[in-house]
Each structure stands twice: as structure tokens, then as C-alpha cells.
Amino acid sequence: MCIYAGPNVGKYSARILENTRASVIAFEPNPIPFEILLILVAQYTRRFSAYNLGVSDGRSELELFYGVANSNLVTFSPEALHMGDVKNIIR
């Protein structure tokens, strides 16, 4: 079993599924790459589960900050707005 926080579009998850018998539970907060993860859900229905959520030590709703749509550089930290590459916010 692999619990994967932030798999983006699932390239590493796909390698795990293709080369092992392990199951993968993925948590991807960015809705854009999450849509691509749904392809893996359809291919590996018994071994791959994906949730459009972030992972935390508490229950809350946060804004998500990122640069380009399927970037793997995504954060919940508002300080990221001061960085040049961060342009988008998901509320």
C-alpha cells in the first residue's frame, strides 16, 4: 500500500501500479491534475483511489496557490504570492 500526498498527474503512481501489486491511495488538492488522475482510477479501479483533497493534521479549508495549471509547485502558504511564479489561487 502506498499513501501518496500530492501525486500531481500521477506519473509515479502509474509506475507503482504498473510494476508492483501495491494499491495506491492518492490525495491531490489541485483540481486540474486531479482530473488526469481519474484516468488511473478508471484503469486500476481495485488498486487506485484518488481524492481531491490536501493532507493535514486538522480539518480546514485553505486557499491553494500555484503558477501554471498542472504544476507540481503548489502550496497552501499565502507567502507564496510574493514569489514571481505564483499567479493563481483556488478558493
For residue 1, give the 3-state DSSP assignment: coil
Q: What is the mean pLDDT of the chain?
A: 84
Q: What is the pLDDT of residues 22-39, one digit of tens each?
A: 999 999 988 889 999 999
Q: How many domains does the chain have?
A: 1
Which residues does residue 51 pair with via DSSP β-bridges, in sequence order? 27
What mean pLDDT comes out for the span 55-64?
83
pTM exceeds 0.85:
no
- Cα dihedral across residues 62, 53, 77, 8: positive or negative: negative
Q: Considering the chain, what percentage of its residues have pLDDT values greater than 90?
A: 49
What mean pLDDT comes out for the span 33-60?
93
DSSP state of 52: S
* Domain span at 20: 2-54+61-90
* Three cell numbers, residue 15: 509506475
Q: What ranges in the chain are assigned the alpha helix state H?
A: 11-19, 31-43
